[in-house]
Structure 1
């Protein structure tokens, strides 16, 4: 399989493009050194085939990394090309360049992790709530009041001053259970959800944002973590439901 991952965020896309550019430059240099020039399209096919390898996966900080072990593509190319004298010699360097590309993509993935964290800090509310022009609120639990609407301006104004607090799931569950007179989930702490909010451009994030019953807190759920923020003024108000 290919040993690189595609990610929708701008950092990974930029690094992937840089890696392909580096591989292309290396292929150009190798091609110029060849006394007998192979066809360009065949060189491209050989490089892509060389990328195939047996690898083992390791997840680091929510990112799946693939470490190449066996050059399956190179072995297959060798078996096919050696049948004609001199053909393997013409394409051997390009096949190994393809396999080496796996390590370059791996290095790019490792570089992208701290770089992504710097550009798009997940613990910063502004990363997840960058544009609320099309946002609205929906009730996702019966304990929430009907007819509530989102105050978009107040939401955007308070994003820079949101205070991050600890997510205390166990404590919240106990409080909810006690206030519900033993009926589980009768009083949900986050009965609303904000829909239509855009995260920071290029982050590739699609968080789910829940709003606390008093409108003064949000729980942002990503594929990796949950973040709880409190602020001074409620972002919900009474009005006609959308």
Structure 2
């Protein structure tokens, strides 16, 4: 069976295109059914389509995805083996079996069609894609080097639309690590977490937001990548580490 695994799986555009794919498959199945003189049982035709989905596939990367493309129609072969001595039944159901195999490509096309919709609705470079709902935000200290502070919600709301994405320089950040008096301790660059934020509805994103010690940097972490943004003003109240 075709298996398509995208990093943004289950997002709204993908669900929408999957529904469209099911409609297309349903229309094709109905047309096959109507053209046959001897009508097959609808429930059996449905099962044959499902079995026809099974296939031998190859995995190919692309568009931040791993896509399994069907090559050999295993489901069709299985059904042919079952009906090999029942020619009349095989003639009645074989088109449904092949429709099941073709359905793999319909779902594949629908998935690729959802990509531009995804990029339009949820731009990956805009911070508002990852922080859309801020009603229940709270600041959490993650490291002993973090000083007591509070999030400035008004400043955050103002700065979100103006924040620019910056390049993450891991080597420079490592060289700037500060060692404090406590043995084996250091000053954490992102000692705060901005909890309670939610990404845009339908994006299916799962991200965590960390705040830099100066209160101006935001690090967005997802299972696939990290994105760094800088604010012109500090987002934290007095008491942050300079």
> TM over 0.5: same fold?
yes
Residue among 50, 53, 56 paired with 2:52:
50
Q: Distance in 2 between matches of 1:207 and 1:218?
A: 12
Structure 1, gaps ≥5 residues long: none
Residue 208 of structure 1 corresponds to: 208
Q: Distance in 1 between matches of 2:10 and 2:138?
A: 25
Residue 236 of structure 1 corresponds to: 236
The structure-2 alpha-carbon separation of the partners of 1:128 and 1:184, relative to structure 1 and needing over 3 Å to count, comes to: farther
Residue among 64, 70, 73 paired with 2:72:
70
Contact 1:216-1:235 at 8 Å conserved across structures: yes
Residue 189 of structure 2 corresponds to: 189
How far did 1:149 drift?
A: 2.6
Q: Following TM superposition, where does structure 1 have runs of at least 4 consecutive aligned residues deviating by more than 4 angstroms? A: 181-185
Q: Distance in 2 between matches of 1:151 and 1:83?
A: 75
Q: Distance in 2 between matches of 1:101 and 1:49?
A: 11
- Superposition map of 1:1-242 within 5 A: 1-5=1-5, 7-146=9-148, 148-176=149-177, 179-180=178-179, 186-237=186-237
Contact 1:3-1:106 at 8 Å conserved across structures: no
Q: Distance in 1 between matches of 2:185 and 2:118?
A: 37
The structure-2 alpha-carbon separation of the partners of 1:4 and 1:81, relative to structure 1 and needing over 3 Å to count, comes to: farther
Structure 2, gaps ≥5 residues long: none
Contact 1:62-1:224 at 8 Å conserved across structures: no
TM-score (norm 2): 0.91
The structure-2 alpha-carbon separation of the partners of 1:90 and 1:111, relative to structure 1 and needing over 3 Å to count, comes to: same
**Cα RMSD, aligned residues only:** 2.0
- Once the two structures are superposed, what CA deviation does each residue of 1:108-163 show, in whole Å capped at 9, x if it has no partner? 222222331122111110100101101111111221114x2323332222110012
- Once the two structures are superposed, what CA deviation does each residue of 1:46-95 show, in whole Å capped at 9, x if it has no partner? 11111111111122232121111111111111111223231111110011
Contact 1:54-1:68 at 8 Å conserved across structures: yes
- Once the two structures are superposed, what CA deviation does each residue of 1:187-230 show, in whole Å capped at 9, x if it has no partner? 11111111111101111111111100111110111233221111
What SS does structure 2 have at the residue aligned with 1:236?
Answer: coil
TM-score (norm 1): 0.91
Q: Distance in 1 between matches of 2:61 and 2:135?
A: 36
Contact 1:132-1:198 at 8 Å conserved across structures: yes
Q: Distance in 1 between matches of 2:60 and 2:87?
A: 40
Contact 1:129-1:199 at 8 Å conserved across structures: yes
The number of residue pairs the alignment matches comes to 236
When structure 1 is superposed on structure 2, of 78-87 and 198-207 the one drifting more is: 78-87
